[in-house]
Structure 1
Amino acid sequence: MKENETISPPTSLGRILLAVGPGLIVAGSIVGSGELIATTKTGAEAGFSLLWLIVIGCVIKVFAQIEFGRYALISGKTTLVALDEVPGPRIKGRGNWLVWYWLIMWLASISQLGGIVGGVGQALSISAPLTQQGVAYNQAADAEQLARFDAFRQAHHRGETESDVSTSNTWGTYDATYRSADPGQHLQPHDTAIWAIIISLLTSVILVVGRYSLIQSFSTALVASFTLLVVVNVYWLQSEAEFAFSAKEFLSGLMFSFPEKTAEISPIRTALATFGIIGVGAAELITYPYWCLEKGYGKFTGANDGSPQWKQRAAGWMRVMHFDAWGAMLIYTFATVAFYLLGASVLHRIGLNPEKGDMVRTLAVMFQPVFSEWAATVFLFGALAVLYSTFFVANASHARTFSDALRVIGVIAHDEQTRDRWIRILSGVFPILCVVIFIAFPAPAQLVLISGIAQGVMLPMLAAAALFFRYKRSVEGLEPGKTWDVFLWLSAVAMLVTGVWTVVAVLS
């Protein structure tokens, strides 16, 4: 780093807030897949009983996140370069065990983005169908969802706890016109795939020409707009007798309890997959330092020359990073709880589970009690905002991490010019790869949960890395205090338990 690139850190609250940003980008990728899809699906399956796990998942991993960011700031090293320093099995000149498992997790993560772009395609195919079949499918599917919703309300008014409704007649005309080769399944139109292809191509262009400031501003605006809508929805939901939740129900969700597994669903397995991706999941733990470096925190701190001035700058920029990470945590935790409450209050009570081709349409039902005939329009705007924000930010992140991985495993040269060139190339390629995955496996919710499982397995590995950075890579005079260490160890234990629990749940 050049000496003239160093900048003294801001000290006033106002200037510190102007210097944050990496956490907002991470929040942009979190709110889409984790909150909108995985969290609401967990609420739909488990009701209120797993709210405690969702809250812990948002808060506890921030300590490890900051350790990763701290080492990036004081060393100027990217995450995968830093992970390659962690002791353990390695291939000489080709990376260690952590880097190679990250490559496995990356495969699952890119599949997750296939699910995300599929969700964007679903939202657009509902709001703007491209074919006559798409129009007919929307009419039949909307009629089915409305029938289920009305049946639940009627049952509630009669004092019944369960509703039973036949929806076969809503599909009669459609199934007769568009016959499916698979009995019992409705033939899916191609509108979703077409929209997904269009969105992927557009994203490739934007990312190839885009820069950090564009990514930060765009993702922040998208997430903020829909988060506001969700909060309004949860608030007004309390005025709907059938869907309002009591303080007792809310508090019961914060107790350590578990829902029962049924033949159709496994709420615990879904929740564990959700735990891996809500808040800062394994993918975000790895990408966060990249955005810190791109924001300039490491460059502004400068190379460690051992001087008191350097330590002062490092401490100041670490303080900014703390504001950034914890501020983002408050935002996405608030949003996560709101999404979970919607899933538990509306979808769980009606008996709907967001899956496969009707994932987005099912999620839109959460807005039906408050926004009634405007529900689909309001939700589709929000779904497009957060799902596309995730797709946009995560592809940008993957381009940076994967190009770095190519350096670590010795595929490309280590100079920054080569890495920057590969970031541009991969920024154009990855969105296309995502849509290919979705077309090959058109089940968005399942793709997201597969990634959650892979990330859950990696959490204990990253916990070990965070402890390694804390105790083996700290700079004297910049070590955190004992209280921080206690919470860092608690974070590591929680991540270890989650990883082991995830493996057991998957194998059982």
Structure 2
Amino acid sequence: MSELKVNNSILKKIIAIVLGFGPGIFAIGYTIGTGSVTSMIVAGSTYGMQLLWVLLLSCLFSGVLMFAYGNYALITGETALYGFKKHIKGGKLLAILIIIGISFGQWNSLMGILGISANMLYEIFAMNFQGLVNYKYETVLVIAIVILVVFYGVLLVGKYTFFEKILVIFVTFMALSFFVSLFFVSPLPSDVVMGLIPSIPDVPGGKMMVAAFVGTTMAAATFLSRPLFVKGKGWNIKHLQQQKKDAITAAILVFVISAVIMAVACGALYHQGNPVTQVLDMANTLEPVAGSLAVGIFFFGTLSAGLSSIFPCLLIAPLLIADYQSGVLDTNSKQFRIITFIACLVALIVPVFGANPIEMQILSQVFNVFVLPIVILGIILMVNNKKVMKGYKTSVFVNVGLFASLLFACIISYNGVIALFEYF
């Protein structure tokens, strides 16, 4: 009886820790969605662990940027775009360009996310109902519509805390699924060590994969939305240490979970010469190596990743516009409902036209890198303005991290331009 009580208390503590996670959960939801999972699986199955160094740098800089944006919000009481518009010369134009750039990238990503999630659910249904095989297009489209109707309905009635709890559940399931999968298949230790040495795959699509990696793990939307989520959490200047821990934890978790996904794909697929190009490839090539149980767990994790990303992607445009206008997001406003409805219609493009969602997903991640340099430059100007920061001085360490992330973002953006020219 005492053992049962101990187990229950441990379980309650774990649940309390998970539910106590702060705005960083949205960073994980934005970052490790189907886009990230797809990029990690494709990279792991095609190049092994060669791009692990890109992931490490992206997550390191992401942590610095989340911390900087969060601190700015707590010290000034303002959100990012509103601050850009108010304090930077030409900031109004800068903010509008950021809204357009990020919304375009996230809505493109949303198409791929919905396409992959609907395709995965179709594969699960088709295994149990053979009659659906002849109606793949129709079934995928219906599933996509049902997903959007449910999520749109939740958006209309939910508040910040409600969205946060749903994301916590999806992200927890996702992380556990991928960690369990790692026990079935794991890469060679030498592959992991070699992956930390900077190199770009000298093959067609190598440059695009590097850009996609940064676009999904160092997403501008993650940093820009952080002030709104920090305010939504009810944090103020007294929570600076808590905000710092939250940013560090989020960055570490993004790296660990993403690296695990890449490692699973590398261990199961890379050495067998089975690169992933279609949604079903993820299951067909994993099953002979890991068995049907591992496939089920991996599928469940990928589906959780997709569903955890749909929320933030639907929220991004109204979030940024609210940020620009006043810094306050009103989920009951007419503006919020109209913009999220338009986002739902955009999301249906891939299922309606029957496009390859994996290819669309990787392309959308590449587009995300182009707005990144100006998002970083904006926060550098803000956190080093003593008047705006009310006397708080940004440390040398944070500034070095910010300038290094700006240089990294510029290099990756240039790389992304070359990749797109090669693709088209």
TM norm structure 1: 0.73
Name the counterpart of 1:35: 36
Question: Structure 1 residues 498, 330: closer, same or farther in 2, change over 3 A?
Answer: same
Q: CA deviation at 1:96?
A: 0.8
Could you say what secondary structure the match of 2:137 adopts?
A: coil
5+ residue gaps, structure 1, are 1-14, 138-187, 239-244, 302-313, 409-413
2:223 to 282, 285, 300: 285
Give 5+ residue unaligned stretches, structure 2: 1-15
CA distance in 1 between counterparts of 2:146 and 2:125 reads 13
Letter in 1 for 2:369: G
**Contact kept in structure 2, 1:207 and 1:428, CA below 8 Å:** no
1:254 maps onto 2:254 in alignment? no
Deviations 1:298-317 (A, max 9, x none): xxx3xxxxxxxxxxxx2x31
Deviations 1:204-263 (A, max 9, x none): 10111111122111111111112112112213324xxxxxx32222101111223221xx
Deviating more after overlay: 118-127 vs 395-404: 395-404
**How far off its partner does 1:450 sit?**
2.7
In structure 2, the CA distance between the partners of 1:119 and 1:72, relative to structure 1 (3 Å rule), is same
Residue from 343, 346, 356 that aligns with 2:265:
343
Residue by residue over 1:472-492, the C-alpha shift from the partner in whole angstroms, topping out at 9 and shown as x without a partner, is 255354223222222222222
Could you report, residue by residue, the CA deviation over 1:2-33 in whole angstroms, capped at 9, with x for unpaired residues? xxxxxxxxxxxxx9998641111221232113
Q: Does 1:204 align with 2:142?
A: no
Deviation of the 1:63 alpha carbon:
1.2
Question: In structure 2, how many angstroms separate the alpha carbons of the residues matched to 1:503 and 1:390?
Answer: 26
Q: Which has the higher helix share?
A: 2
Evaluate the alpha carbon distance shift between residue 328 and residue 416 of structure 1 in structure 2; reply closer, same or farther with a 3 A threshold.
Answer: closer
Q: Aligned pair 1:70/2:71, yes or no?
A: yes
Aligned to 1:385: 304
Name the structure 1 match of 2:132. Answer: 134
Contact 1:83 1:99 in 2 (8 A): no
1:99 to 96, 99, 124: 96
Alignment counterpart, residue 362 of structure 2, candidates 428, 438, 449: 449
CA apart distance, 1:38: 1.4
Identity of matched residues, %: 20
TM-score normalised by the chain length of structure 2? 0.86
Alignment of 1:74-473 (within 5 A): 74-85=75-86, 87=88, 89=90, 95-129=92-126, 134-135=132-133, 189-238=137-186, 245-261=187-203, 265-278=204-217, 280-297=218-235, 301=236, 314=237, 316-355=238-277, 358-359=278-279, 361-365=280-284, 367-368=286-287, 371-405=290-324, 407=325, 420-440=333-353, 442-472=355-385
- Measured after TM superposition, the shift of residue 364 of structure 1 is 2.7
1:396 CA displacement? 2.7
Q: For residues 401 and 376 of structure 1, do their structure 2 counterparts lie closer, same or farther at Cα, with a shift above 3 Å needed?
A: same
Does the 8 Å CA contact 2:117/2:306 hold for their aligned counterparts?
yes
> Partners in 2 of 1:476 and 1:216 — Cα distance?
30
Q: 1:83 to 1:45 in 2, by over 3 A?
A: farther
Partner Cα distance (1:134, 1:47) in 2:
35
Residues 152-202 of structure 1, C-alpha deviation per residue, up to 9 Å, x if partnerless?
A: xxxxxxxxxxxxxxxxxxxxxxxxxxxxxxxxxxxx532211111111111
Post-superposition shift, 1:392? 2.0
The AA in structure 1 aligned to 2:248 is: W
Cα distance, 1:475–1:404 mapped onto 2, change above 3 Å: closer
Q: Give the direction of change, closer, same or farther, for the CA distance of 1:507–1:371 in structure 2 (3 Å limit).
A: closer
Q: CA RMSD in A?
A: 2.8
Larger Cα-atom Rg: 1
Name the amino acid aligned to 2:233. Answer: K
